[in-house]
Structure 1
Amino acid sequence: MPTEPTVPDTPAAAPGPVPDKVRFDGVTKRFGDHTVLDGLDLAVAPGERVTLIGPSGSGKTTILRLLMTLERVTGGVIHVDGEPFSHMPSGPGGPGGKLVPADERHLARRRRHIGMVFQQFNLFPHMSVLANLTEAPVHVLGLGKEEAAERARELLALVGLADKADAHPTRLSGGQQQRVAIARALAMRPDVLLLDEVTSALDPELVAEVLDVLRDVAATTDLTMLCVTHEMGFARDISDRVLMFDGGRILESGPPGTLLDDPGHERTRSFLRSLH
């Protein structure tokens, strides 16, 4: 009886490289004649926590505002998940085709997965805390009201405000309002969380409660995080990498234990001394 020919096993294809979660390729941002970012190259891996430090005006917050599409790049391209974010293909040619600045539809679709917590809380004062958390998930993500409310209550518990769902923001302390703002950002189920000096508008005694919440978020989620802060203890606790900015460029970078304790540049040492 003839036997079937033996077919050798086909080896499984090796997995391809995981794309950077966020990548800036030669990104420049100018306001008139003033260059805020100067040909920035920066890659952030999925799940990486990166803290940006440096003097005021060095370009740190501009990076976050570009990712939130509050500003447009002057030159270069931003990629998210390996695909153009600040730009889009000019036609049906697909990958490899010419890129043009993204239109609003492209930006709205891509920024859904990016959340930001600002210096100011920006809560809706006429809405309850729960409504502040459910408004965008219902109207932007299309979640049902019950699902959005359930998620909102879980997040309020996470930030230690489970008993404040029915309160209005004006009845809360600054620290509590910022914790609500953190929960609101998380309610949009972002992959990337941007934190812009989230304690700078708080009285000193309220700073610790907000930073403790963010430490918990960092410890219990796999979010990619970009954080601008002058709180070096916080940067040390949550960061995989710290970047020192000066004049719109990265002056140096490294693990927090290296850059904060033994920086290689005098400019970094001078900046860190100025914080004490």
Structure 2
Amino acid sequence: MVEFDGVVKRFGATTVLDGLSFTAAPGEFVSLIGPSGSGKTTILRLLMTLERVSGGVISVGGEPLSHMRRGDRLVPADDEHLAAARRRIGMVFQQFNLFPNMSVLRNITEAPVHVLGLSPAEAEDRARELLRLVGLGDRCDEHPTRLSGGQQQRVAIARALAMRPDVLLLDEVTSALDPELVAGVLDLLGELARTTGITFLCVTHEMGFARQVSDRVLMFDAGRVVEEGPPEQLFSDPREERTREFLHAVLDRN
């Protein structure tokens, strides 16, 4: 569902991703771990088309995202192509990014109506269904400022799902939450991973969550994949010294 083929990303003279290649299969939950500055969030920003690649090709669902076909050639994607490709991808951010002046229901229905072209009634039915799914069926008319951080993050997850994405990106989705709210959000994401068939790419420092939910874990350092594998193998018996160092530091801190 997602393929990075020799992807390079530079910011000026700094190379953040250096010939990165990896794939994520349909319905697979892939966690991206590694130290700050290793390039994990840049991967999500490239998939959201918030940044453009410096080299290589990104594909989603077998179709190029960073490029488009022109005859038998691939050329850099124009804005129209990027906008169409972006509809297949949802993202849940660290800071929720909800509209405080809109009700919870309207936060979820705005994009499906204006981007997907759903009727207001269809979008509302879908939003109510998703709010029930995330345990907030009785909060449709509330405004985000009247919800806890954990509840706001659940609304943000429902909003992303309302766009019916093939791929859902999660960027440290519990980092802004109080510790007692983290478990509920992680339990919800685990349930969604088991039941929706969506491909998840999750940047996280929650090693227990990555171990429990992931189908595969990728360890990043200096813009490249140092090691990848099933979570039980990578966490219990990592092959690479850099992975062992990182896990030792993170697990000792927790």
TM-score of the superposed pair, with normalisation by structure 2: 0.97
1:45 partner letter:
A
Number of the residue aligned with 2:140: 165
In the alignment, structure 1 residue 122 sits paired with structure 2 residue 97: yes
Cα deviation for residue 209 of structure 1 reads 1.2
Question: Which string of whole-angstrom CA distances, capped at 9 and with x for unpartnered residues, describes residues 103-150 of structure 1?
Answer: 110011111010000111000000000000000000000001111001
RMSD, aligned α-carbons: 0.8
Question: Which string of whole-angstrom CA distances, capped at 9 and with x for unpartnered residues, describes residues 146-180 of structure 1?
Answer: 11001001110111111110000000111110110
Cα deviation for residue 216 of structure 1 reads 1.3
In the alignment, structure 1 residue 145 sits paired with structure 2 residue 125: no
Q: Aligned to 1:89, what secondary structure does the other structure show?
A: strand
Number of the residue aligned with 1:268: 243
Question: Partners in 1 of 2:180 and 2:24 — Cα distance?
Answer: 32
Cα deviation for residue 67 of structure 1 reads 0.5
Cα deviation for residue 233 of structure 1 reads 1.3
Q: Aligned to 1:72, what secondary structure does the other structure show?
A: coil
In the alignment, structure 1 residue 81 sits paired with structure 2 residue 57: no
Higher relative CO (Cα under 8 Å, sequence separation at least 6) belongs to 2
Question: Partners in 2 of 1:125 and 1:203 — Cα distance?
Answer: 20
Question: Partners in 2 of 1:220 and 1:80 — Cα distance?
Answer: 21
Structure 1: give runs of 5+ residues left out of the alignment.
1-20
Number of the residue aligned with 2:21: 41
- After superposition, residues 1-276 of structure 1 pair within 5 angstroms as 21-90=1-70, 93=71, 97-276=72-251
Question: Which string of whole-angstrom CA distances, capped at 9 and with x for unpartnered residues, describes residues 170-222 of structure 1?
Answer: 00111110110000000000010100100011111111111111111112110
Question: Partners in 1 of 2:142 and 2:36 — Cα distance?
Answer: 35
Matched residue count: 251
2:183 partner letter:
A
Question: Which string of whole-angstrom CA distances, capped at 9 and with x for unpartnered residues, describes residues 218-251 of structure 1?
Answer: 1211001100001111111221110000000000
Question: Partners in 1 of 2:76 and 2:95 — Cα distance?
Answer: 29
TM-score of the superposed pair, with normalisation by structure 1: 0.89
Structure 2: give runs of 5+ residues left out of the alignment.
none
1:149 partner letter:
E
Q: Aligned to 2:225, what secondary structure does the other structure show?
A: strand
2:111 partner letter:
A
Question: Partners in 2 of 1:212 and 1:158 — Cα distance?
Answer: 12
Cα deviation for residue 89 of structure 1 reads 2.2
Number of the residue aligned with 1:6: none
Question: Partners in 1 of 2:250 and 2:135 — Cα distance?
Answer: 29
Q: Structure 1 runs of 4+ off > 3 angstroms?
A: none
Question: Partners in 2 of 1:146 and 1:212 — Cα distance?
Answer: 30
Question: Partners in 1 of 2:227 and 2:158 — Cα distance?
Answer: 32
Question: Which string of whole-angstrom CA distances, capped at 9 and with x for unpartnered residues, describes residues 86-115 of structure 1?
Answer: 00123xx2xxx2221101100111110100
